[in-house]
């Protein structure tokens, strides 16, 4: 049905619509957020005559604000005004008040001062790459401070990869990745391939009932592409790190790559068998076990543990993890031992999925593992 105040649907084409942010019933103007075809972006849009779903009259409100490709948004109850919290790596968040009907009428409320950071910062760039599969991936590359393109740098690939998730955002990276980049001199790479958010169902669909396969294939292919493209990336010093689903994915990458590209893998609190995980989440993406036995079998790590022998592998888990139960890592360690695979294991007593107060120790050990075992640092 159509008519003012009766919005039934609005489609973002090749991009996801993150959220319907507001609606001005008097003017029939809808506001929504979407990546809008950008890499790691979240922009605010306005569509007039919204009840007719006329896609030809869409205005990007964010374009009226400088450096506001990635933002969080709040729209007033009457749909006439919006605030945009504009985020940029290593900068203060800037808060703007905007007139939805006339976005040129905007005011900076907070964040005018430059961020005071008393040390050299990494630099971040974003790019796209078309892989041999024909799919396009989004990539973020963080280079160490005082980067010198004539040198060779180790590569740390930071993965998550869960369905409808993204790692590539135009925001400040996590402190631990900044630390590894700055202190270990590593180039930190993040890749969003098949299964990731932002780009519509065609990108998400391949991983339905097939977790851990295409995410690994795309990450490996993207890293190979980068190594071939950039002489400053050292192909002999490549590691992958992941936590939770990311640990599941880093392990699949190690299994699939067989040491050809990745020399080290770090898995924190990985799912090793989705038969052991939350059934609501699992069945949403893998279906019912009886109807998709091949998908469950392919996603499992236990039956492939022997293939991890070709990389240096660090496995860490908290014993009190109530999300991904410690049983996962216990069974994986047992399988690795049965296959005579050398690996390093860290067990954190009384720690949950986040590792709580033991995160400092965990990342100290990961840093030592990367430096000594993977990047050959003194």
Separation of alpha carbons 170 and 125, rounded Å: 9
Active-site residue identified among 63, 171, 234, 353: 353
Give the integer Cα–Cα distance in Å for 21 and 88: 21
Q: Which distant-in-sequence residues (6+ apart) come within 8 Å of 73 by Cβ?
A: 21, 31, 33, 42, 44, 82, 83, 84, 85
Pairwise CA distance, residues 106 & 155, whole Å: 42
Catalytic site residue 244? yes
29 bridge partner residues = 24
Residue with tokens 């950039």: 230
- DSSP class per residue in 212-258: TTHHHHHHHHHHHHHHHH-TTEEEEEEEEEEETHHHHHHHHHHHHHT
The residue from 273, 321, 325, 329 that is catalytic is 321
Angle at 150 between CA 147 and CA 154, to 5 degrees: 65
Beta-strand relationship, 233-243 and 264-268: parallel
Q: Is 353 a catalytic residue?
A: yes
Running DSSP on this structure, what letter comes out for residue 133? T
The yes-or-no answer on residue 321 being catalytic is: yes
Residues 6+ apart with CB under 8 A from 354: none
Annotated catalytic residue within 244, 250, 251, 329: 244
Catalytic site residues? 244, 321, 353
């Amino acid at each position: 049905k159509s008519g003012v105040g009766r919005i039934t649907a609005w489609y973002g084409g090749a991009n996801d619509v993150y959220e319907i942010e507001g609606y001005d019933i008097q003017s029939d103007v809808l506001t929504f957020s979407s990546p809008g075809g950008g890499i790691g972006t979240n922009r605010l849009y306005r569509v007039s005559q919204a009840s007719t779903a006329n896609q030809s009259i869409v205005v990007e409100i964010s374009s009226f604000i400088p450096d506001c490709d990635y933002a969080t948004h709040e729209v007033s109850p009457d749909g006439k005004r919006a605030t945009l919290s504009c985020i940029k790596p290593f900068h203060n968040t800037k808060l703007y008040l905007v007139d939805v009907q006339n976005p040129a009428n905007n005011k900076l409320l907070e964040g005018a001062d430059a961020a005071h950071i008393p040390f050299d910062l990494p630099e971040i760039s974003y790019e796209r790459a078309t892989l041999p599969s024909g799919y396009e991936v989004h990539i973020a590359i963080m280079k160490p401070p005082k980067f010198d393109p004539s040198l060779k740098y180790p590569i740390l690939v930071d993965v998550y990869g869960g369905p409808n998730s993204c790692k590539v955002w135009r925001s400040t990276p996590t402190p631990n990745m900044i630390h590894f980049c700055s202190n270990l001199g590593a180039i930190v790479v993040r890749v969003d391939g098949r299964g990731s958010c932002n780009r519509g169902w065609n990108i998400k669909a391949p991983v339905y009932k097939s977790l851990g396969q295409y995410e690994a294939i795309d990450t490996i292919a993207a890293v190979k592409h980068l190594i071939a493209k950039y002489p400053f990336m050292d192909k002999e010093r490549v590691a992958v790190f992941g936590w939770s689903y990311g640990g599941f994915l880093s392990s699949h990458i190690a299994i699939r790559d067989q040491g050809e590209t990745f020399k080290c893998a770090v898995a924190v609190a990985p799912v090793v068998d989705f038969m052991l995980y939350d059934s609501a989440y699992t069945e949403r993406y893998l279906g019912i076990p009886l109807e998709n036995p091949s998908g469950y079998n392919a996603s499992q790590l236990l039956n492939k543990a022997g293939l991890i022998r070709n990389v240096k592998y660090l496995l860490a888990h908290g014993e009190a993890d109530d999300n991904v139960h410690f049983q996962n890592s216990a069974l994986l360690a047992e399988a690795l031992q049965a296959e005579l695979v050398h690996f390093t294991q860290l067990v954190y007593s009384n720690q949950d999925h986040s590792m709580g107060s033991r995160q400092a120790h965990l990342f100290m050990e990961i840093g030592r593992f990367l430096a000594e075992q993977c990047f050959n640092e003194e």
